[in-house]
Chain A
Amino acid sequence: MGRESHADPSVTVVAMKDIVKKFGDFTANDGINLTVHKGEVHAILGENGAGKSTLMNILYGLYKPTSGTIEIGGKQVNIDSPEKAIELGIGMVHQHFMLVQPFTVTENIILGMEPRKGLVVDIPSARKRVQELSEKYGLQVDPDAKIEDISVGMQQRVEILKVLYRGADILILDEPTASLTPQEITELIEIIGHLTRDGKTVILITHKLKEIKASADCCTIIRQGKYIDTVDVNNVDENDLASMMVGRKVNFKVEKAEIEPGEVALKVEDIHGLDYRGVEILKGLSLQVRKGEIVGLAGVDGNGQTELVEILTGLRKGTAGSVMVDGKEVFNKTPREIFEAGITSIPADRQKHGLILQFSNENNMILQNFREPEFSKMGVLKKDAIHKHAAELFEKFDIRPREHEAYPAGTLSGGNQQKVIIAREITNDSDVLIAVNPTRGLDVGAIEYVHKYLVEQRNKGKAVLLVSFELDEIMSLSDEIDVIFNGQIVGKVAGKDAEENALGLMMAGGNSSEKE
């Protein structure tokens, strides 16, 4: 990739040896070794729930290992709290930011370590220090902006500055790109370069192979709590990494047989709708999906996709238009009527719409179907049938850990939560399936499964509308790609003829091939 390495293999800064961590009967880390050198970008790769975060939480003093030793800078240490970790020069940027929204960037960075002048906080000198740090590492932030007003990318830079301000030499970044845009990811990779150039060491927890190739020197792979290998990133390609992580060969290319689409199952005509502020965001959008076809809706976030899906599933009322499912009008009907007419969906936000986290998995599996005679009789739930149903779906969709049907959905990892939703929605067997960012936050193994299931639905003659911000995903799955811009469809391309550049241009509101 032409990146420059700043690693100094003669200086070992972190050595974790034979780390074992058990939670009750469950072994999250089973004899893991990790050696990190000064100036290195060291990626920790593993599937959702493989034990990466547990290992890093041990290094950061949040968990105590059941057995094993840790050496920092060649000296054996006992890290029993994050305070101790910070003292040793270890800093962690968590996946979910921990910032005070109404505070400014500077106030957030100095929180807990405020420089004082007498009794008051010395904001001017703190501000100066923040600016120095941000210039030194190319972390552009506005020290006076409030957190609630700045982008996610900038919030992440604030988190990194917070760690640097506390004097960290070893930075742990936990899934740092999960919520970033592609542009912001490129910037982050540059920042990581700046950090290592200045002698910092970066440990990167991720399951994104592309980013490892683009930014890391070394990569340690963990699978189901076990240490697999540490490799030099230059000597492996993405396929090698993927198969080491999953433990089998991963198929990146989606196998899709040619089939002739059937009649129109979902027909959306001239939809108008408002966003949460009451501004018109959908301006006469029309599209249709035939049976046995995947239509991908490509577009930049904020062009009306969210509102369109909400109107199609009944969560939001549109101002005008028509939605026909198998010839039946369902525009502005209730979610239940729409579901019964034949639309089911994999929602974008799995924890807000997709699951009731406090409910058991088996109860989540019947969210739309609990009234069916299969699951209840005269208003009384059939617990046994519900449990059996969930156990079958756990088996069929490989939801882990097994035997977790009766536990709250919130106890599953993100990828397995998504599998619960997908299992439920696919089992609904509706004519129309709307999938919104169905693979967000999933690792390659899980993505492969999701893609396989979507194609399977298409092959079974279902109409699939795929809404995704991942252009790769849209291009590899769709039979037809519709581009949404500014609340309208601005172009339609057959999936096999799609070109990334042309699509990108249309998504940005440039030329369109078939303007309607």
Chain B
Amino acid sequence: MKKNKENNAGLFSHILQANIPYTLLSIIIGFVVGAVLLAIAGIDPIATFGALADGIFGKSKYIVWSIVYATPIILTGLSVAFSFQTGVFNIGAEGQFVVGSMAACCVGIFCNLPKPLHILVCLLAAALAGGIWSMFVAILKVKRGINEVLSFIMFNWIAYYLSNYLVNIPAIHKDGDGEATKNIAESASMLMKFDDKALKAFFGTGASFSIVVALIAAIVIAFILNKTTLGYKLKAVGFNRFAAEYGGISSNREILTALTISGMLSGLGGACQVMGMGQRISQFSSQEGFGFQGITVALIASSNPIGCIFSGLFYGAMKYGGSKLTLVNAPSEIVNIIMGTIIFFIAIAPAIKKLILRGRKGN
């Protein structure tokens, strides 16, 4: 009996040591803060959260939509998480996402290939584009010592205007009115079309299998980080560049590799957005924020690749559910407030954890 109690105590302190309870706690606090603000604004928080939950789980097709919304930000989340693991900050996921979507869109419009192959070629093109876009910045950092945060932010804007330029090239611009490109060929689309009435009703019109790309990417990244010599080198540089170099690992080369792979992941995110949802690129009026949402996803997941799947799904569902809040006269911005609060509490979680563990140490 006593032994059992000790085991329980051991398990409990083990849970206190882990990150997940603090993440969940932060999420709850995020909702509480959101509720308080809604109440102050004179909006019923329970009705709002009810509408949010209904907007996500109310029908099977809503869940499908949430997953479709989540797919690109799982990928940008992986991209940012991967860079964090190597000790650099890919704040350029936004730009890599945009060039990835451009590459996928162009290959999707102009190449004429059979279905599965066309999809693969589009994904490859997007990954290459995102990887090269990020590699430019990495080379500037490694060869010239230019801070990657600055050049990434500038590259985000270059990608943004490049995309708007691309949309308006006559050969790409859609026929007729509207500020967007032509649609990609059917053979490059990842949308799922159902003839069966029941399936159609279940999945809705937006179903796409792009989530598979994100799941495979997360597994591959987890494998690279935990099981390969590449992951060993990247993490060594991320944890302690000096010891890594002492051990014969070239930190510059590893940073270059890490940022290139990170860029490829964001590029894939862009491809999934075009091929699994929009089917085209529209003219931007502002940065769409998929890359920046990736930072949130990575932070909530503590940079764990598998964790990014769950935090990406969470954020995707909040985005989709939040977009419908205007129907109950609640501002959809409440979602941003909740997400911001969550990040804030996750950021201070180590301090909270320390306090809790220190409090327990005495007993």
Measured CB to CB, the residues of A under 8 A from B are: 24, 63-64, 80, 313, 315, 334-336, 339, 347, 352-359, 363, 367-368, 370-371, 376, 379-381, 383
B246 touches A354 (CB 8 A): yes
Q: B230 interface residue, CB < 8 Å from A? A: yes
B residues within 8 A CB of A367? 236, 243, 246-248
Cβ A380 vs Cβ B243 within 8 A: no
B333 on interface, CB distance cutoff 8 Å: no
Q: Is A335 within 8 A of B229, CB to CB?
A: no
A359 with B247, Cβ < 8 A, contacts A24-B10, A64-B362, A376-B229 known: no
The 8 closest A-B pairs by CB, nearest first: A336-B248, A64-B362, A367-B247, A353-B246, A358-B239, A356-B240, A335-B248, A356-B239
A-B contacts, 28 listed (Cβ < 8 Å)? A24-B13, A63-B361, A63-B362, A64-B361, A64-B363, A80-B362, A334-B248, A334-B250, A335-B245, A336-B248, A339-B248, A352-B240, A352-B242, A352-B243, A353-B242, A355-B240, A355-B243, A356-B240, A356-B244, A359-B239, A367-B247, A367-B248, A370-B229, A370-B232, A370-B233, A380-B227, A381-B227, A383-B227
Instruction: Looking at the assembled complex, report how far the CB atom of B34 sits from the nearest CB atom of chain A, in whole angstroms.
Output: 35
State which of B229, B246, B247 has its C-beta within 8 Å of the C-beta of A380.
B229
- Given A80-B362, A315-B246, A359-B236, 13 more A-B residue pairs with CB atoms under 8 Å apart are A24-B13, A313-B246, A354-B246, A356-B240, A357-B239, A359-B239, A367-B246, A367-B247, A367-B248, A379-B229, A380-B227, A380-B228, A381-B229
Query: Distance in Å from the Cβ of A506 to the closest Cβ of chain B?
Result: 31
CB contacts (< 8 Å) of A376 on chain B: these are: 228-229
Residue among B239, B240, B244, B361 with most chain A CB within 10 A: B240
Chain A residue with minimal CB distance to B244?
A356
Residues of B within 8 A of A363 (CB): 232
Q: Which of A357, A359, A371 contacts B229 (CB 8 A)?
A: A371
C-alpha spacing A359/B237, complex, angstroms: 11
Most buried by B among A363, A368, A379: A379
Q: Mark B1-41, 1 if CB is under 8 A from A, else 0.
A: 00000000010010000000000000000000000000000
Residue in B closest to A64 when the chains form the complex, CB atoms: B362
Q: Which residues of A contact B227 (CB under 8 A)?
A: 380-381, 383
The interface residues of chain B, by DSSP majority, are classed as helix
Tell me if B319 counts as interface (CB < 8 A to partner A).
no
Q: Does B235 lie at the interface of the complex (its beta carbon under 8 Å from any beta carbon of A)?
A: yes
Q: Which residues of B from 236 to 277 have beta carbons under 8 Å from A?
A: 236, 239-240, 242-250
Measured between C-beta atoms, what is the minimum distance from B247 to chain A in Å? Answer: 4
In the bound assembly, the distance between CA atoms of A109 and B240 in angstroms comes to 34
Complex: how many Å from CA A370 to CA B235? 13
Look across to chain A and name the residue whose beta carbon is closest to the beta carbon of B358.
Answer: A62
CB distance from A39 to the nearest CB of B (A): 32
Our pick among A80, A353, A383 for the contact of B243 (Cβ within 8 Å) is A353
CB-CB < 8 A to B13: which residues of A? 24
What residues of B have a CB within 8 angstroms of the CB of A358 in the complex? 239-240
B8 CB, min distance to chain A CBs, angstroms: 13
Give chain B interface residues in 202-241, CB to chain A under 8 Å.
227-230, 232-233, 235-236, 239-240
- Give Cα A357–Cα B233 distance, bound, in whole angstroms: 14
A356 lies within 8 A of B243 (CB) = yes
- Set of chain B residues within 8 Å of A379, measured between Cβ atoms: 228-230
Interface-centre pick from B10, B244, B246, B250 (highest chain A CB count, 10 A): B246
Cβ of A55 to closest chain B Cβ, rounded Å: 15
Q: How far is the CB of A63 from chain B (nearest CB, A)?
A: 7
Give chain B interface residues in 38-78, CB to chain A under 8 Å. Answer: none
Q: Given the known A-B contacts A24-B10, A63-B362, A80-B362, are A315 and B236 also in contact in the complex, defined by CB atoms under 8 Å? A: no
| Contact with A368, one of B10, B247, B363 (Cβ below 8 angstroms) | B247
Bound Cα distance A367, B240 (Å): 12
B-chain residues with CB within 8 Å of residue A352 when the two chains form the complex = 240, 242-243
- B 84-138 contacts with A by CB, 8 A: none
B230 contacts which chain A residues (CB < 8 A)? 379
A315 / chain B contacts, CB cutoff of 8 Å: 245-246
Q: Which residues of A contact B239 (CB under 8 A)?
A: 356-359
Give Cα A383 to B236, complex, Å: 16
Q: Which of B324-363 contact A (CB under 8 A)?
A: 361-363
**What residue in chain A is nearest B361 (Cβ atoms)?**
A63
Of the listed residues B236, B240, B243, B361, the one surrounded by the most CB atoms of chain A closer than 10 A to its CB is: B243
Give the shortest distance, in Å, between A61 (CB) and chain B (any CB): 10
Give the docked Cα–Cα distance between A356 and B86 (Å): 13
Closest Cβ of chain A: how far from B187's Cβ, in Å?
34
Q: Which residues of A are found within 8 Å of B362, using beta-carbon distances? A: 63-64, 80
B67 to chain A, nearest CB (A): 31
Task: Determine the chain B residues whose CB is within 8 A of the CB of A335 once the complex forms.
Answer: 245-248
- Minimum Cβ distance to chain B for residue A424 (Å): 9
Q: How far is the CA of A90 from the CA of B186 in the complex (A)?
A: 78
Of listed A347, A355, A356, A357, residue having the most chain B CB within 10 A: A356
Min CB distance, A426 to chain B, in Å? 16
- Tell me whether B247 and A381 are in contact (CB under 8 A): no
Output the nearest chain B residue to A347 by Cβ-Cβ distance.
B246
A379 to B231, CA, bound (A): 9
List chain B residues, Cβ under 8 A from A63: 361-362
Question: In the complex, what distance in Å separates the CA atom of A24 from the CA atom of B242?
Answer: 34
For B361, list chain A residues within 8 Å (CB).
63-64
- Residues of A within 8 Å of B235, CB to CB, are 359
> Which B residues are CB-close (under 8 A) to A381?
227-229, 232
Report the Cα distance A450→B246, complex, angstroms.
21
| A15 vs chain B, min Cβ distance (A) | 21
Q: How far is the CB of A271 from chain B (nearest CB, A)?
A: 19
Q: Write out the residue numbers on chain B whose beta carbons fall within 8 Å of the beta carbon of A355.
A: 240, 243
Residues of A within 8 A of B250 (CB): 334, 336
Q: Which residue on chain B has the smallest CB distance to residue A386?
A: B232
From A382, which residue of chain B is reached at the shortest CB distance? Answer: B227
User: What separation, in Å, do the CA atoms of A423 and B363 have in the docked complex?
Assistant: 38
**Chain A residue, CB-CB nearest to B237:** A356
Please, how many angstroms separate the alpha-carbon atoms of A64 and B235 in the complex? 37
Shortest C-beta distance, A248 to chain B (Å), equals 33
**A69 CA / B13 CA spacing, docked (Å):** 26
CA distance A347 to B244 in the complex (A): 13
Report the separation of the CA atoms of residues A357 and B235 in the bound assembly, to the nearest whole angstrom.
12
How long is the Cα–Cα vector from A129 to B289 in the complex, in angstroms? 58
Distance between B188 CB and nearest chain A CB, rounded to angstroms: 32
Question: Complex Cα distance A379/B361, Å?
Answer: 42
CB distance from B225 to the nearest CB of A (A): 11
CA distance A35 to B285 in the complex (A): 76
- In the complex, what residue of chain A is closest to B240 when comparing beta carbons? A356
B177 → chain A closest CB, angstroms: 52
CB distance from A317 to the nearest CB of B (A): 13
- Residue from B242, B248, B362 with most neighbouring chain A CB atoms (10 Å): B248
Find out whether the CB atom of B248 lies under 8 angstroms from the CB atom of A368: yes
CA distance A367 to B233 in the complex (A): 9
Shortest distance between the CB of A7 and any CB in chain B (Å):
33
CA distance A363 to B10 in the complex (A): 26
Question: How many angstroms from the CA of A355 to the CA of B243 in the assembled complex?
Answer: 6
Residues of A within 8 A of B233 (CB): 370
Measured in the bound complex, the distance between the Cα atoms of B49 and A500 in whole Å is: 80
Docked Cα-Cα span, A363 to B231, in Å, equals: 12
Q: B240 to chain A: which residues have CB within 8 Å?
A: 352, 355-358
For B228, the chain A residues whose CB sits under 8 A away are: 376, 379-381
Contacts of A359 in B (CB 8 A): 235-236, 239
Q: Which residues of chain B are within 8 angstroms of A357 by Cβ–Cβ distance?
A: 239-240
When C-beta atoms are compared, the residue in chain A nearest to B224 turns out to be: A379
For the complex, give the distance between the alpha carbons of A370 and B230 in Å. Answer: 10
Nearest chain A residue, comparing its CB with the CB of B249? A336
State A380–B361 Cα separation when bound (angstroms): 40
